Structure 1
Amino acid sequence: MPQADRLIKIQNRLNAGQLLRRQALLDELEVSFATLKRDMAYVRDVLRVPVRFDSERNGWHLDSSAIADGTHALDLKLREDEIRALLVMQHLLSRLEPGGVLAAQIGPLQRNLERLLDKGLRAPADVARRIRVLALGARRLELPHFRAAAQAVLRRRRMRIVYRARSHGRVEEREVSPQRLVHYRENWHLDAWCHRSNGLRIFSLDAIEHAQVLDDAAIEMPDADLDDQLAKGYGIFAGSQVQMARLRFTPERARWVSAERWHPDQRGRFDPQGCWVLELPFSDMRELVMDILRHVPEVEVMWPEELADEVRRRLEEGLRRMRGAG
């Protein structure tokens, strides 16, 4: 096995939190002990992975103290243009994500990239000066439990959370099996199997008041099941009763909306009048109504009738409030 393949395999196992037992690793990589020692030294000294040998368990593992203080950062063999591209991506993410929940995790990587640029300290400043991202209207969130949720998702562990549900405002404790993290409209959400309600649920991370990663293994849900139950509706609202909506936008607005993606399963076409007719599924109309109202008066809800009624009700209520305020 080539050295590059061996190093990738070793790093992936270490990052997954595994103990790499010496004899098992020798058998798997089919190398001598001297070669294995050189590989582990390369991982530790060149790639700067904080790996330690545990003589009692006769294997290598990641140094937990280096992971906790954020000094563990992978040193990659990249061209200068690739490093600069990664710095640009980090800058864009820091501007697009006003909560800054990934800053602590990305910071060590950015410092390593700067070092690889051979003291290219001008690179981050140049990126910030030349590339601007205007995140106006974005919510600034404090998500203290993002790291715990990410750890549980990636290591496939259960979590115990204290959650304040927005629908009724009550605080509840739940044990969940996290499936995936979803970033949607300036917030992070956790798709998880709830052991109390015995079903899939979506938890907004900013509504989690306490989180604890447990030692118990999480229940694993197939991606197809997750998509079938959580991704068929519109936006973040899930539901099994899915129906189709048909919207028609004026020719003026069609020039923008025809290029937008409202739903992965949407269908759109221009009618003879140049209007953009958009069809898309939804299971809960709340978020869809808000998006429709953004385009008033240049949008018409063709069907279903209950969706059109809800849009009219919101407009009439808004007019009453405006008249009352006047």
Structure 2
Amino acid sequence: MKKADRIYKLHQLLQSRRCIARKDLQDALEVSRATLTRDIEFLRSQLHAPVVYDAELGGYRLDKPTGLAGQGQHELPGMWFNASELNALLSIEHLLESIQPGLLGPHIAPLRQRLERLLGQSSHTPAEIRKRVRLLAATPRRLKPEHFEACANATLMRKRLHIEHHDRGLDAIVSREISPQRIVRYKENWYLDGWCHLREAIRTFSMDAIRAARMLEQPAREIPDAALDAALGAGYGIYAGHAVEWATLRFTPRQARWTAHETWHDEQKSRFEADGSYILEIPYSNAAELLMDILKYGPEVEVLAPPSLRALIAERLQMATGRY
């Protein structure tokens, strides 16, 4: 049991009884004598609970607050969540709200109720949290639920999948038979990693670009996780691949105030220069996504290496300038 859970359970036990013996507390919390002692001290010193040992009754109790007729009226401060926990809770709630009425309705209702109760354990009401804390999606692309459902079912049931996919590079619809391996949500959008039986290679498909999807009877080809990670996880972003290069970027001292706190890749390297500029080195295999991320910083960033990436950025900037 986590310490936070123990503390709340300990407080509840003290609230619910006039007095409770040390051994009974240890058994209820499944802790040692030393741990119980530390937890009681934490209640007293950090949460200001009036826990006292009553020698006459032979146990611990909450002391009666001055001027109150009842005993044990002390309340703990409300629970709060850290950034990742709050993001997870509100994300789950947002996803549940987006589900249309149907077969899942009766099953989701109890989950939503539990989520409401969990949010209600904080210092603020769920309604206040929703009002004051917002999760804003960053340009998610629309996808058709029936296509997503077909892809998800085939992935989980380990069946092959036939898709009609809009190849944005060719601006054409292509037909592919794939063995889906996993579904990935990245930067607010959904992608399908799979083995393409035409190309005989691992490919990633944007699920919003799928125009038709049909699960087949043939079992999917299984690709080891290590092979997937080697093909898709080594380079930068969702367009990663085997052939990895390293990009070296220099951000201005002004932009460094923000970028120095960002994680672009798990294996990135970084350092500051004497003038306050920030050097960031990241691996990448396909420059498409990296180009977009670099260009949005405009004059606040310079590509130092490799020369091929630097040339691509210069070309894009010249094309953009030509439009004005």
TM bucket, shorter chain? 0.5 to 0.7
Aligned-pair CA distance for 1:270: 1.5
Corresponding position of 1:111: 109
**Contact 2:141–2:189 (Cα < 8 Å) also in 1:** no
Q: Deviations over 1:31-89 (max 9, x none)?
A: xxxxxxxxxxxxxxxxxxxxxxxxxxxxxxxxxxxxxxxxxxxxxxxxx979xx99974
**Contact 1:239–1:283 (Cα < 8 Å) also in 2:** yes
CA RMSD of aligned residues (A): 3.5
Q: Distance in 2 between matches of 1:86 and 1:279?
A: 30
**Contact 1:87–1:110 (Cα < 8 Å) also in 2:** no
**Contact 2:195–2:202 (Cα < 8 Å) also in 1:** yes
Answer with 1 or 2: which has the greater Rg: 2
Q: Taking structure 1 as reference, are residues 279 and 103 closer, same or farther at Cα in structure 2, changes over 3 Å only?
A: farther
Letter in 1 for 2:90: H
Q: Give the 5 Å matches for 1:230-309.
A: 230-309=232-311
Corresponding position of 1:33: none
Q: Under a length normalisation based on structure 2, what TM-score does the superposition of the two structures give?
A: 0.64
Q: Deviations over 1:96-116 (max 9, x none)?
A: x7x957997986565213445
Corresponding position of 2:312: 310
Q: Distance in 2 between matches of 1:117 and 1:260?
A: 30
Corresponding position of 1:92: 91
Q: Under a length normalisation based on structure 1, what TM-score does the superposition of the two structures give?
A: 0.63
Q: Deviations over 1:195-246 (max 9, x none)?
A: 1221111111111111122232211111111111112222222333221111
Q: 1:146 aligns with which of 129, 145, 148?
A: 148
Q: Distance in 2 between matches of 1:108 and 1:270?
A: 55
Contiguous gaps of at least 5 residues in structure 2:
1-77
Q: Taking structure 1 as reference, are residues 298 and 88 closer, same or farther at Cα in structure 2, changes over 3 Å only?
A: closer
Aligned-pair CA distance for 1:193: 0.3
3-state secondary structure, aligned to 1:175: strand
Q: Distance in 2 between matches of 1:199 and 1:222?
A: 13
Q: Give the 5 Å matches for 1:128-207.
A: 128-135=130-137, 137-144=138-145, 145-207=147-209
**Contact 1:91–1:127 (Cα < 8 Å) also in 2:** no
Letter in 2 for 1:141: R
Q: Taking structure 1 as reference, are residues 143 and 265 closer, same or farther at Cα in structure 2, changes over 3 Å only?
A: farther
Q: Taking structure 1 as reference, are residues 161 and 103 closer, same or farther at Cα in structure 2, changes over 3 Å only?
A: farther
Aligned-pair CA distance for 1:92: 2.6
**Contact 2:143–2:209 (Cα < 8 Å) also in 1:** no
Aligned-pair CA distance for 1:272: 2.5
3-state secondary structure, aligned to 1:289: helix
Q: Deviations over 1:161-218 (max 9, x none)?
A: 1222112122222221111111112210100001122111111111111112223221
Aligned-pair CA distance for 1:279: 0.7
Aligned-pair CA distance for 1:260: 0.9
Letter in 1 for 2:275: Q
Q: Distance in 1 between matches of 2:101 and 2:263?
A: 29
Q: Distance in 1 between matches of 2:101 and 2:207?
A: 16
Between 1:106-115 and 1:195-204, the stretch displaced more is: 106-115
* Percent of residue pairs identical: 42
Letter in 2 for 1:306: S
Aligned-pair CA distance for 1:302: 1.0
Q: Distance in 1 between matches of 2:262 and 2:226?
A: 25
Aligned length: 239
Q: Deviations over 1:251-294 (max 9, x none)?
A: 22112111111122211112222221111111222221211112
Corresponding position of 1:228: 230
**Contact 1:177–1:218 (Cα < 8 Å) also in 2:** yes
Q: Distance in 2 between matches of 1:253 and 1:102?
A: 42
3-state secondary structure, aligned to 2:238: coil
Q: Taking structure 1 as reference, are residues 220 and 201 closer, same or farther at Cα in structure 2, changes over 3 Å only?
A: same
3-state secondary structure, aligned to 1:301: strand
Q: Distance in 2 between matches of 1:105 and 1:226?
A: 34
3-state secondary structure, aligned to 2:164: strand
Corresponding position of 1:61: none
**Contact 1:244–1:281 (Cα < 8 Å) also in 2:** yes
Q: Distance in 1 between matches of 2:186 and 2:116?
A: 37
